[in-house]
A = this chain, B = another copy of it.
Amino acid sequence: MLKDSVRTKTYQNAIYQNAFLFKDKVVLDVGAGTGILSLFCAKTGAKHVYAVECSIMADTAIEIVKANGYSNVVTVLKGKVEEIELPSKVDVIISEWMGYFLLFENMVNSVLFARDKWLVPGGAVLPDRTSLYLTAIEDADYKLDKIDFWKNVYGFDMSCVRKQAMLEPLVDTVDQNQIVTNCQLLKTMDIEKMDSRDVSFSAPFKLVAQRNDYVHALVAYFDVSFTKCHKPIGFSTGPRSRPTHWKQTVLYLEDDLTMCEGEAVTGTMSVSLNSKNPRDIDIKLTYHFNGKRSQASRTQEYRMR
């Protein structure tokens, strides 16, 4: 994931170009991985950095911190941020917690937990803002290949697999030329202020066709901002931006919509953590389309797992 340069370069710029946010500060890095963000903070003048990582990657991070001569500044703590102990509160929390569809694997709640337990009043969380967007795409070839393939597999009917395939949002890179409608903001999250319950939400959308085309799927993506920087810094994971390892999330529609320029598909998207496995995300999509050349009204459920 370090090879996702959009991601890592944005964090690097946010840290190196804004030393005033880190100089002589105590920093907590939630889900530190190899420790790269902790090293950025140490290099830019942090007083101390606690790098919390619960996987065996923590052992690698310890080795990396030592190899780069920062063992006196960066302390790697192997464990869950919900369970570790720090000697003091921290001035800054930094984290790269975003998953596919922003919320998959639900690490944001670990950041919110760390914020509530360990951040000093008035402390900063970086990044501090993220938004989820929705748009609609033409995707005939891929839908045939990924979904309708199961209707006839070497002469056999595997429609029961097709049903499962429809339930699973597809994480893939969408070509910007496939976009048929506007992009609709669904939800903005302020990481410094939000409550963990805000991770579940329901939002209306209205997607207006910008040309005559077919719509086979809705596509979700997110952006991330560091608004505390001297000059705001961030990145988008949308189809019009440089690709990242998050790609986009494609939700295939049961109906193929024949949309004329100016016609709108409206509806609601509801997002919630799965009650049995809160790392999974349940998505409920209701859509209505009443066009000149096709009409559809349906509720579909998806699960990211």
Contact = CB atoms under 8 A, between A and B. Distances in A.
Contacts of A145: 3
A149 interface: yes
A159 B63 CA distance: 9
Nearest to A35: B156
A8 interface: yes
B2 A153 contact: yes
Given A153-B2, A153-B36, A160 B12 contact: no
Nearest to A67: B157
Nearest to A150: B2
Interface string A119-160: 000000000000000000000000001000100011111111
A161 interface: yes
A161 B56 CA distance: 13
- Listed residue (A43, A64, A157) with the most chain B CB atoms within 10 angstroms of its CB: A64
B34 A67 contact: no
Interface in A90-113: none
Interface string A36-66: 1001100100000000000000001001100
Counting chain A residues whose Cβ lies within 8 A of the other chain, the interface size class is: 20 to 34
What is the oligomeric copy number?
Answer: 2
Contacts of A36: 153-154, 156
Contacts of A64: 156-158, 160-161
Nearest to A66: B160
A68 interface: yes
A149 B67 contact: no
B60 A156 contact: no
Contacts of A12: 154
Contact of A34 (B9, B34, B40, B158): B158
Contacts of A39: 156
A134 B75 CA distance: 45
B67 A160 contact: yes
Contacts of A164: 60
B3 A63 contact: no
A157 B68 contact: yes
Contacts of A2: 153-154
Nearest to A160: B63
A87 to B, nearest CB: 25
8 contacts: A2-B154, A3-B145, A34-B158, A39-B156, A40-B154, A60-B160, A67-B157, A67-B158
Question: Which 4 interchain pairs have the tightest Cβ spacing?
Answer: A63-B160, A67-B157, A68-B156, A39-B156
Given A3-B149, A12-B154, 18 more contacts: A2-B154, A3-B145, A8-B154, A9-B154, A34-B153, A36-B153, A36-B154, A36-B156, A39-B156, A43-B155, A60-B161, A60-B164, A67-B157, A67-B158, A67-B159, A67-B160, A68-B156, A68-B157
